[in-house]
Amino acid sequence: MPGRQLIMSFPVTATSHSLAEYRARGGYQALEKALKTMQPAGIIKEITASGLQGRGGAAFSMGRKWQVIVYDDGQPHYLIANADEGEPGTFKDRWILENNPHVLLESMLIASYALNVRNCFVYIRGEFDLPYRRLAAAVEEAYAAGYFGERILGTDFSCDIVVYRGAGAYVAGEASGLIASLEGKKSYPRNRPPRLTVKGLYQRPTVVNNVESLSNIAWIIAHGAAAYKEVGTPKSPGTRLFSVSGHVNKPGVYEVELGYPWMKFLDEDCGGIVGGKPIKCVVPGGVSSKVLTGAEIKELVLSHEALWDAGSTLGSGGMIVIAEGTCMVTLSQILMRFYHHESCGQCTPCRHGTGWLHRIMDRIVAGNGRPEDIERLYYISKFNDGTTICGLGDAAGYAMSGILDKFRDEFEYYIEHKRSRYDGNLECLKSS
């Protein structure tokens, strides 16, 4: 784990997910501090002062999101941990659920106290087996120890939690789609306003935060916002978990201090590139973020502002490293197949646009591409942007146009010669 670590700096053992080991690491002391020495408004103030940004993709200030909730408005409030981790290349939330589920539970209790939440939820991806079993066992342990239920730690605060398994829809990872699924409906995203913090679950004020985002709360309350801001950069404080896959010698989940040099991270911490090959490009934050070439990342650091300036984003932290020799046309076909399959079909531009992108890519890879297909791919990507309720259609267009911008020559070669310049090499699938 490079740089300085915060929430995940502990040795992973066969029982690191247990309550006993979590307590040995100081677990649930932050909850006691919050309930017995802090007021709800003080907790929100501390989280806001820390500069903590959401780790699910948008990097929005968590404190600002929480501030929208009116504590004593007479309505029930809800808190939902979004554990529907379906972004290809992203698996850091799964790591938390498998190895440190109690940090999520403690943080959710603190957040529930701050937001006047009586019932909170974890919406977990349906395909997750071990993460679900680890989380469910942790919930049982927490109830048995008196951390959930009535009058927690002898205070007036009471809170219950429900772990809800989704049915495997990628679009349910979008907050309003998740809420629709939790209510027993199709996971169709919905138009906003009103914001979910005004009318969310059951039309009541609701905060939806990513698993990693919430897991920072206990550390911040235990050590203070000032200590949190000592790590990272002024605009991107703290650390991030990156799930690294692709052509690296040591794929896995890494906790990285924001502002850490990107190439140092890949060369030293991730063990360099398989076979010593040059880096062709990197998908920085899940496949919905635009690719950056090996040349573009050489001088970059891992921070939100650095990636925004470079024309991409840290997104969900799913870093896919692609070595020279990989066919970007074939990779694009795989990505468009994913987006077409996962479109919920509610919005016409996404329903048809992702299908057109997929079919055009299938035709090109089959050797039947046409010179005008490249501009057609750009055209469809443009008209998916900003015309749908959720961001799936946008993301498909970003992924497609981002690869075309950097590797148009490969598409032109494929269309002209009816094959890849790498002779159909599928290296992009190996060691991913």
Lowest mean pLDDT among 13-22, 54-63, 218-227, 317-326: 54-63
Query: What does the domain layout of the chain look like in residue ranges?
Result: 19-229, 239-323, 328-429
Q: What is the reported pLDDT for 430? A: 45
Neighbour-count burial of 387, counting CB atoms closer than 10 A to its CB (0-12 exposed, 13-18 middle, 19+ buried): middle
Closest CA to 57 of 339, 340, 304: 304
Classified as helix, coil or strand, 21 is: helix
Helices assigned H by DSSP within 211-309: 211-215, 217-223, 225-229, 262-264, 294-297, 304-309
Q: Decide yes or no: CATH 3.10.20.600 for domain 239-323.
A: yes
CATH topology of domain 328-429: de novo design (two linked rop proteins) (1.20.1440)
Q: What is the reported pLDDT for 431? A: 38
Homologous superfamily assigned to 19-229: NADH-ubiquinone oxidoreductase 51kDa subunit (3.40.50.11540)
Give me the sign of the Cα torsion angle 172, 177, 181, 186.
negative
Q: Given phi > 0 = left and psi -120 to 50 = alpha, else beta, which region is 300?
A: beta
pLDDT over 70 (residue 3): no
Lowest mean pLDDT among 52-61, 128-137, 203-212: 52-61
Closest CA to 353 of 384, 382, 375, 395: 384
Per-residue pLDDT of 245-297, as tens digits, reads 999 999 999 999 999 999 999 999 999 999 999 999 999 999 989 999 999 99
Per-residue pLDDT of 289-299, as tens digits, reads 999 999 999 99
